[in-house]
Amino acid sequence: MLLSTLIRALRGWVPARWKTELRVLYHIVCHSVRGATHKERLDSFYGAQADGYDEFRRRLLNGREQLMDAVGSRAQGGIWVDMGGGTGANLDMAGDEVVMSFARIYIVDLCSPLLQKARERCAERGWHHVEIVEADATTWVPDEGLGRADLVTFSYSLSMIPDWFAAIDHAIQLLEPTGLLGVVDFYVARKYAGSRGGAARHSYVQRSLWPYYFAHDDVHLSSDHLPYLQSKMEVIELVEASAGLPYLRFLLPPVPYYVLVGTPKAQANGAFKE
C-alpha cells in the first residue's frame, strides 16, 4: 500500500525509467500472486511487469550471458528450444549470428504478456524462424517430434516450474542423443555433501532465507536441482556463484546461482529415441 501510494505521488516528475522500476518492484514485493492454475498465476504476476521485465531482470538474473556464451559456442544449427523463454531476451544475449545459425527456434512459455514481448522482439529483429509457443514445458512437443532438438535451455525458469523434474526429463526426451542442455537458475546447496551436487556450500542464512523470500513470488529454490541434473547429464561445464540482489546487496547475503551445460547420459534418453 505504501509503495503504491508513493508511485502515484511521484508519477508527475519521476523519470519514466524510474516509474517502470518502481512498478516492477511493487509487483515483486507487494503484489499477491493470484490464480487457480500455473498459467493464471504467471499472468497475474508478470502481466503488469512485462514492459519493464527485461531491464530489471538484467540486474537480478546473473549468469544468463555466461550460459548463452557457453551454449552458443558449442551448439549452432538445427533446433533450439528455449523453455520458459519469456520475452525472448536470451536470443538477444546469444547474439544475431548465433540466432540466425539455427534452422528453427522455439520460445516456449505459459505467460501470455511475456510472450507478446517475445513476438515484438522477433518481429523487430527479423527473426522469422523463431516460433512463439504458449505451452507447458513438461508436455509440449515440437512439430519435429521427440529426439530432434540440438539445444534446450532453461534460463531462470526451472525454479518456476512446479513439476521441475518432469521438465528436465521432458527436455532430455526432446534432445538429440548428443544435444546440449543448458540451465542457469537460483538454487541452494544441500547442507551436507553427497555423491551428487555442486562443490559450493552455503550458509544457514542463505539456505533458509532465500527459499522463503522467493517463494512469495512462486520461485522455488531447490537443493535438488543440481543433483538431479547431474544424475541425468554428462556435465560439460558447471559454474556455481552468487550475487547480491538489486538494492539489497549490502544488507543481505548474496543469492546463489548455477550455470550448467551438459549432454544426456545414454541411459537418460535411450528409452525415448524414436
Could you list the pLDDT tens digit for every one of the 274 residues in the chain?
555 665 565 555 555 554 555 555 555 555 566 666 767 566 555 555 556 555 666 767 899 999 999 999 998 789 999 999 999 999 999 999 999 999 999 999 998 888 999 999 999 999 999 999 999 999 999 999 999 999 999 999 999 899 999 999 999 999 999 999 999 999 999 988 665 667 789 999 999 999 998 887 788 999 999 999 999 999 999 999 999 887 677 888 999 999 999 999 975 554 333 3
pLDDT of the residue at 219: 87
Cell numbers of 51, please? 514492459
Nearest residue to 38 (alpha-carbon basis) of 136, 119, 117, 157 = 136
| Prediction pTM value | 0.83
Q: How far apart are CA 199 and CA 205, in angstroms?
A: 18
Q: Are strands 149-155 and 79-83 parallel, antiparallel or unpaired?
A: parallel
Identity of residue 130: V
Nearest residue to 231 (alpha-carbon basis) of 267, 258, 207, 199 = 267
pLDDT of the residue at 16: 54
Task: Kindly report the backbone phi and psi dihedral angles of residue 256, in degrees, each rounded to the nearest multiple of 5, phi listed first.
Answer: -70, 145
Q: What is the CA radius of gyration of the chain?
A: 19
Residue 131 CB neighbour total at 10 angstroms: 15
Q: Three-state SS across the chain?
A: CHHHHHHHHHCCCCCHHHHHHHHHHHHHHCCCCCCCCHHHHHHHHHHHHHHHHHHHHHHHCCCHHHHHHHHHCCCCCCEEEEECCCCCHHHHHHCHHHHHHCCEEEEEECCHHHHHHHHHHHHHHCCCCEEEEECCCCCCCCCCCCCCEEEEEEECCHHHCCCHHHHHHHHHHHEEEEEEEEEEEECCCCCCCCCCCCCCCCCHHHHHHHHHHHHCCCCCCCCCHHHHHHHHEEEEEEEEEEECCCCCCCCCCCEEEEEEEEEECHHHHHHHCC
Query: How many CA atoms, within 13 angstroms, populate the side-chain half-sphere of residue 69?
Result: 6
Identity of residue 216: H
Nearest residue to 186 (alpha-carbon basis) of 166, 215, 163 = 215
